[in-house]
Each structure stands twice: as C-alpha cells, then as structure tokens.
Amino acid sequence: MHITVQRDKLSNAVSHVSKAVSSRTTIPILTGIKMKADEEGLTLTASDSDVSIEVLIPKEEAGEWGVTVHQPGSIVLTSRIFSEIVRKLPNSEIHIQVDDRLVTQIRSGQAEFTINGMDAAEFPQLPQLEEDKIFSVPSDLLKSMIRQTVFAVSTSEMRPILTGLMWSLDGGQLKFVSTDSHRLASRTAAVECADELSFTNVVVPGKSCNELVKILDEDQNPVDIVVSDNQILVKSKHILFYSRLLEGTYPDTARIIPQSSKTEITVSTKEFLQSIERASLLSREGKSNVVRLVTLPDGSVEITSNAPEIGKVTEIVMPKAMQGEELKISFNAKYMIDALRSIDSSEIKACFTGPMSPFVLRPTDHEWTLHLILPVRTY
Amino acid sequence: MHITVQRDKLSNAVSHVSKAVSSRTTIPILTGIKMKADEEGLTLTASDSDVSIEVLIPKEEAGEWGVTVHQPGSIVLTSRIFSEIVRKLPNSEIHIQVDDRLVTQIRSGQAEFTINGMDAAEFPQLPQLEEDKIFSVPSDLLKSMIRQTVFAVSTSEMRPILTGLMWSLDGGQLKFVSTDSHRLASRTAAVECADELSFTNVVVPGKSCNELVKILDEDQNPVDIVVSDNQILVKSKHILFYSRLLEGTYPDTARIIPQSSKTEITVSTKEFLQSIERASLLSREGKSNVVRLVTLPDGSVEITSNAPEIGKVTEIVMPKAMQGEELKISFNAKYMIDALRSIDSSEIKACFTGPMSPFVLRPTDHEWTLHLILPVRTY
C-alpha cells in the first residue's frame, strides 16, 4: 500500500473510527485501525465486540482532493499511536507507505515515523446485512431521539435487555423506549419508509447509542438505517456504523402507562427543573435523593427535601394550571431532573393518579414525548 | 447575623475562598466557609493547613450595591453545600439570617433553605503579619512568573524543600526559581519596592502558587506582597491570600548554571516544540521518554526517538543559527516540552557544553527567563 492523503480528512476519519476501538481488548488486532486503499479511495475500519465503524475517504469529492492511491493495499496500525501521530503531523499532505514486512512509513514535512503494522487479513470482516428492512431519518432528529431517551436505560446488568434502547417501527412511526424499571422515557417520530415496513424488539445497547450520537452530524441530511436479526447499520454519508443488538424480549411497557389521571399540573419546564435541582442539593446528600411534592390550597405547589444533620429546603412553584384532587407524592429527584432536562418544550403537564402510582410527564405542545416516573413510598 | 447580599458577588467570593477549603480535612470547622457581617460589609474566609483566603464584599463599591447588613454577626457554613446553593438560587438578592442556635435561613425568590451552621468562634484566626517587607507587582506579571516556573517544582516528598517555588528579591529584582533536580526554571522581573528591601529563601509551596494563579486577575493592577518568616500574604483588591512557607534551606542553584558553551543552536520555539512533541509520541511509550538530538554536517538538527516493538521517528529541524562543536545528546522530552511551552518568545537559543553536561535554554529577545535541563546518559 502506498498513498498520499489529506491530513484533516484522515484525522477526522481516524477520530470517528477510533470510537469503536476498545482500549481493554485482549485481541491485539482490535486495538488497531484497518486502512484499505483501493479504486474507491481509503477506507478506515475499527471494531470492538459491540460496535464497528467504517469511514471512506473518497479520492475526490465536490472537487476537493482526498487521497491519491499510488499502490492499493491494506494495513492495520495501533489506534492510539496512529491517532496521535496523524493529529500532530506538520503538513496537510501525509504519505503512507507499507513494505513487505508490514513496516509502515508515515511522512509529512520533515517528520518521518516508521511504525510496525499488523496484517489486515487478520482483521475481522464486517457483517453483510440484507437491506430489506431499511428506513430513513434526518441526522439531527435521530440524534435528539437518542438523547431524549438513552439516559433512562438501565446501567445494571441484572436485566441485560434493559441496558438497551428499544427501537420499533409501525405505520411510519419510529419509537424509542428506555426504562430501568424505576422510570421510562419514550420518543416517537414520523420517518420515511415503505408503508408495510414494521418491526419491534430491536434493542440497541445504550453504549452504542451514545457512540452513535457523537458520530452523527447536527444537520437534516437523511441517515439510512438497516435492521437485521442481530445487527443494526446506520449509514451517514461516508460513515457506516454497525451495532449488535441485545438478545431477549423487551418488556411490554405500553400497559404500565396510566390512561387516566386524578391530579394534573401544568408548569414551566425550566422553572420546575430549577426548583427540583435546588431541592436535590440537599436530597442527594441522603442515599435516596427523594424530594416531596405537595399541592397547596392556594393553587401553588410546594417542593421540599431535607438531609439529616445538614438542613432542609422549601420551594414554591406557581403552576400555569392545576386541576383534580390534592396530592402529596415523593419521588427520586434525579429521575425528574433527567426527564425535564431532556424535554425541549417550554411547558409540561404532569399527570398523577395518586401517591403510590407511576406518574407521567408530557410536553403540552406535542405528543411525541412521554416520561414515566415511579414514586417513592415515604408515608 | 442578618444580611441581604447580591448573588453574583457572593457567588464570586464563595468560589474564590472555597479554593482554600480542604475536602479531606478531619477538622469539621475547616470544611466550612466563615461569613462575618460588620460595618465594612461581608467578609468570607476559608482555610486549610497551607492556604487561607479572605474576600471582602463591601457594602457598596463604585456606586454598585454589594450587601446590606441588617444585624452584624458571623457563622460558618459547610463549603460544598453552601457553594452549590448560592450558585443555584433564583434571584439576584439573597437573604441570610442566623438564629441563636446557629440555624441559618437562606432565602431567594420562592426558594428557602434552612441549614445547620457552625460556631464562627471555633474558626481559626488568620495570622497577623508585620508589613515591613512589602513590595508590589502587576497582577498579570505575577501570574505569568508563576506559570513559567511552577511546572518544574518537584512532586516528590523526598526533598520537601524542592516542592516549593523559591522567591527572592534583590536590587529591585524579584526572582522565582524551581527545580526537581533534573531540570530548573527561573524567571526574574523588576518590581516596585523600597531600595533596601531584599530577601531570599522564601519558599512558597507549589500547590499554593497554583491556587494563587487561579485567583489573580489577568490585568495590570498592582498586587501587594507581604513576606514574613513563615507566611506570605498576597493582597489583590478585596482578596487576601495567605500561604505558609516551606521550612529549610533551598539549594544554591546559581553555581550549577554553566557560564560558557561549546555548541549553540538558535531555533524557532514553536517549530522546535512541535518536533519534540512528535518525537515524544513514541519516546513516552518507553519508560524514560528519551529523545536524541544530533547536529548534522549540513547545518540541520536531527531529532529521533524510538519505542521497542512500536517503531521510530525522525525529525529534521533547520535552526536559524548554529555554531560550535558537533553534538549528540539525549534528554527527557517532557522536560524540554514543559520548558518550551512556558516560553512566550518566538525564538530560543540552546547552549550545550557536551553530551553529559546540563544545557540551557534562553529566549533570544530578553534575559528574564532561563531553563536548565540535565541530559540523559545513553552512550
């Protein structure tokens, strides 16, 4: 292999694929980034057991030079060292040349690195997916759908299936659901797909979703998504992002969402969030991080919390509207804060069905988002 | 005590003094911030065994309201909780009221915190310093003098005196010296002081210097410095910064600085730094982080480094000027990088007296800065 490549494009590609390099793998070849130069350009690939990422640097794109392939071929270089070298090279042109013994020369300006490479033939093959289940989402929408739900996936390996984000598609509506069995987040959006396309129980590991968010652009360009039995593939321009799916059956969450309510409170999202955040300054000193919400006869809502030995805090929030029965309820402040922070609408409605039942938060301006939180028993 | 105070001023003051709060102290009162309200305004104080910081919020300053004292008094509140409460309060006015049992009410808008305070009488008194040794430095100059030397203080407790920055003053010149016995940094500047004022062996802990840098403003306002036998006091507007001094005698570093040289190389600071940084990508993979510098017959300088099993790197640097004997020398890349990064001149001259002797780096445009590095024996 012998190429000349544009530094910034290489640096970008390396920083994308290196997100799939595991630092703790015991398989030496997986600490590396595979480079393959052919008639298309230069393709970089990295993989750990969960995620694989592939980025193509085309020879030329929109009149801009990317790479010149003097001699096709491939090599695997240790990710950590290679990333740092590329970032620090002095010139915008980088020459990379591999000899028969896999010794790789990287030259730029007056700097010359000679690095021992690994055999690309040993690098695992990426899966070939059947592209029959395919649909398309704008990049920024996919990003925000993940952000608004992934925080609620479980971090406990007790029920591994809950460490993933459940994707389903039906009637042109893509839905993400996450729950750690104490709270639930759900986000729906209309997407472009074949009318008859539908799937459910596609559970993408939370960690993969977090990596995907970092790679996706903040623009409205469409991203193609291919779903198979045990893999998902996200295609964004020159990037391919593969993740394995979690095995098992995701619980049926639809039936735990209450359909009626006894008390409804409409509040400013920001004001409510800030009150809970202040209350949580003391509640999180204890173990349970519990704050208490009480409706007062004058139409206001009191939020309190106390930490033994330190002190207590009382907040008064004036709702935009309140109706139904009076209410005293306690809940984990962190769950409430996570949910409120993820909501981008200025106003929410909280619907309660009593102090022992799960309650629901929804934006008042659309129906795409829902958060459910289980209360804490303190009485 | 009962006061109404401007939130941003309180928040600023708290963030300054909290730098002196030790999170790991076993003395409960030292986890707190002392507040004292009197005719001057509100004074905040915090202290650990090394550093004490005091900040005054005047009642009014330049026509801007700071604090209203309804009833003088004092209290100590746990720093961590108090800092977070102040930062998150909703209104720009904060009411603080302490009752007989030290219970402190903090009110702002609809938020009300009730916190258990500690008795201010138990808080240690700050030292009273004789102000006979006093001089004055612009704030930004003091900041940069510390930054350009403190990186070379020792982090090892083997010789505790070397963990400090040695301040001395003679003939109106303030000098900072640091060394960890492998390298040395020195920075001198002219300061305003009484003609006859001189001192030496004032060794300020490196940690204190780092905290001081964070507190000093990046402007040319004068900072007054008072030196006593075992304390130093830095006065900047409404801030008093006390640090204890290290006990012991700082080594005489003047005599280890070579007065002649056999090889002199003048290079661009930035170009040289970047070459060493690239070389160090491989050298730091080994234990010793050694790079090698060799003068070539064509007037260029070759910098090389290699890491067993990974590879090697060669850099060619074209000096602005080179004279004297040819040279092969090895040194720790980190020491060279630290020194070059701290130099704000665009060009440096490196003076060598052979492969086994310490060498010196100086900016070419002034004499205020000097770096000395001991080579590594590799031949």
A127-159 per-position pLDDT tens digit: 888 888 999 999 999 999 999 999 999 999 999
Give percent above pLDDT 90 in chain A.
88
- For residue A111, give the nearest of B81, B110, B313 by CB distance: B313
Mean pLDDT, range A275-282, rounded to an integer: 94
B30 pLDDT higher than 70 = yes
Mean pLDDT of chain A: 94
Mean pLDDT, range B23-51, rounded to an integer: 92
pLDDT of residue B131: 86
Q: A136-231 — its CATH code?
A: 3.70.10.10
Mutation target for B interface from A281, A317, A318: give the one with most B CBs within 10 A: A281
Confirm if B230 and B243 have CB atoms less than 8 A apart.
no
Q: Does the distance separating the beta carbons of B281 and A85 come in below 8 Å?
A: yes
pLDDT of residue B379: 53
Chain A hits for B282, CB-CB cut-off 8 Å, are 81, 113
B40 pLDDT higher than 60 = yes
B32 pLDDT higher than 90 = yes
Domain with CATH 3.70.10.10 in chain A: 136-231, 257-373
B24 pLDDT higher than 90 = no
A25 pLDDT higher than 90 = no
* Chain A: residue whose CA lies nearest to B84: A281
Q: Does the distance separating the beta carbons of A315 and B111 come in below 8 Å?
A: yes
B318 pLDDT higher than 80 = yes
Chain A hits for B316, CB-CB cut-off 8 Å, are 110
Q: Are strands A164-170 and B328-332 parallel, antiparallel or unpaired?
A: unpaired
CA B368/CA B352 separation, integer angstroms: 19
Domain with CATH 3.10.150.10 in chain A: 2-122
* Chain B: residue whose CA lies nearest to A87: B278
Q: List, for residues A59-85, the tens digit of each pLDDT value.
A: 999 999 999 999 999 999 999 999 999
Chain A hits for B314, CB-CB cut-off 8 Å, are 111-112, 114
The token duo for B374 is 């001991």
Chain A hits for B110, CB-CB cut-off 8 Å, are 275, 315-318
Name beta bridge partners: B99. none
Nearest Cα to Cα of residue B293 among B358, B337, B355 = B355
Mean pLDDT, range B45-74, rounded to an integer: 95
Long-range Cβ contacts of A295-302 (<8 Å, 24+ apart): A295/A263, A295/A265, A295/A322, A295/A326, A295/A327, A295/A328, A297/A326, A301/A265, A301/A267
Q: Does the distance separating the beta carbons of B113 and A312 come in below 8 Å?
A: yes
* Chain A: residue whose CA lies nearest to B317: A110
B270 pLDDT higher than 60 = yes
Chain A hits for B103, CB-CB cut-off 8 Å, are 311
User: Which CATH fold would you assign to the domain A257-373?
Assistant: Proliferating Cell Nuclear Antigen (3.70.10)
The token duo for A206 is 């939370």
pLDDT of residue B95: 98
Q: List, for residues A351-367, the tens digit of each pLDDT value.
A: 999 999 999 999 999 99
Q: Which residues contact B64 (CB under 8 A, 6 or more apart)?
A: none
Q: Residue A273 to residues A340, A348, B36, B373: CA-CA distances in angstroms? A: 6, 11, 33, 55
Q: Does the distance separating the beta carbons of B78 and A111 come in below 8 Å?
A: no
Give percent above pLDDT 90 in chain B.
88
Q: Does the distance separating the beta carbons of A78 and B315 come in below 8 Å?
A: no
In this structure, what are the phi and psi dihedrals at residue B309, rounded to the nearest 5 degrees?
75, -25
Q: Does the distance separating the beta carbons of A313 and B112 come in below 8 Å?
A: yes
Distance from CA of A114 to the nearest CA of B (A): 5
CA A375/CA A332 separation, integer angstroms: 7
* Chain A: residue whose CA lies nearest to B300: A110
pLDDT of residue A340: 98
Sorting pLDDT into bands at 50, 70 and 90, what band is A102? very high
Q: Count A/B contacts: CB-CB distance under 8 Å.
A: 90
pLDDT of residue A379: 53
Domain B2-122 matching CATH 3.90.550.10: the answer reads: no
Sorting pLDDT into bands at 50, 70 and 90, what band is B283? confident
Domain B134-244 matching CATH 3.10.150.10: the answer reads: yes
pLDDT of residue A27: 86
The dihedral through the CA atoms of B355, B359, B362, B364 has a sign that is negative
Sorting pLDDT into bands at 50, 70 and 90, what band is B220? very high
pLDDT of residue A132: 86
Chain B hits for A309, CB-CB cut-off 8 Å, are 116
Distance from CA of A80 to the nearest CA of B (A): 10
Mutation target for B interface from A278, A283, A291: give the one with most B CBs within 10 A: A278
Sorting pLDDT into bands at 50, 70 and 90, what band is A302? very high
- Go through A249-274 and write b for each residue having 16 or more CB atoms within 10 A of its CB, e for each that does not: ebbeeeeeeeeebbbbbbbbbebbbb
CA B143/CA B213 separation, integer angstroms: 5
Mean pLDDT, range B37-64, rounded to an integer: 95
ipTM of the complex, rounded to two decimals: 0.86
Looking up tokens 């590329």 gives: A86
Chain A hits for B281, CB-CB cut-off 8 Å, are 81, 84-85, 88
Mean pLDDT, range A28-35, rounded to an integer: 94
The token duo for B326 is 């040819």
* Chain A: residue whose CA lies nearest to B89: A278
- For residue A88, give the nearest of B85, B90, B278 by CB distance: B278
pLDDT of residue B171: 92
Q: Exposed, middle or buried: residue A60 (CB in 10 Å: 0-12, 13-18, 19+)? A: exposed
A35 pLDDT higher than 70 = yes
- For residue B309, give the nearest of A116, A275, A312 by CB distance: A116
Chain A hits for B311, CB-CB cut-off 8 Å, are 81, 103-104, 113-116
pLDDT of residue A49: 79
pLDDT of residue A24: 77
Q: List, for residues A222-255, the tens digit of each pLDDT value.
A: 999 999 999 999 999 899 999 999 999 999 999 9
- For residue A309, give the nearest of B84, B116, B315 by CB distance: B116
Q: Does the distance separating the beta carbons of B281 and A88 come in below 8 Å?
A: yes
Q: Does the distance separating the beta carbons of B316 and A85 come in below 8 Å?
A: no
Distance from CA of B110 to the nearest CA of A (A): 5
pLDDT of residue B195: 86
Q: Does the distance separating the beta carbons of B282 and A88 come in below 8 Å?
A: no
CA B106/CA B125 separation, integer angstroms: 26
CA A316/CA B109 separation, integer angstroms: 9
Mutation target for B interface from A110, A276, A310: give the one with most B CBs within 10 A: A110
Largest CA distance in chain A: 83
* Chain A: residue whose CA lies nearest to B315: A111
CA B305/CA B313 separation, integer angstroms: 6
B51 pLDDT higher than 60 = yes
Chain A hits for B274, CB-CB cut-off 8 Å, are 88, 90
Please give the residue that has the higher pLDDT: either B198 or A288: B198
CA B95/CA B118 separation, integer angstroms: 18
CA B141/CA B147 separation, integer angstroms: 10
Q: Does the distance separating the beta carbons of A112 and B313 come in below 8 Å?
A: yes
Domain with CATH 3.10.150.10 in chain B: 2-122, 134-244
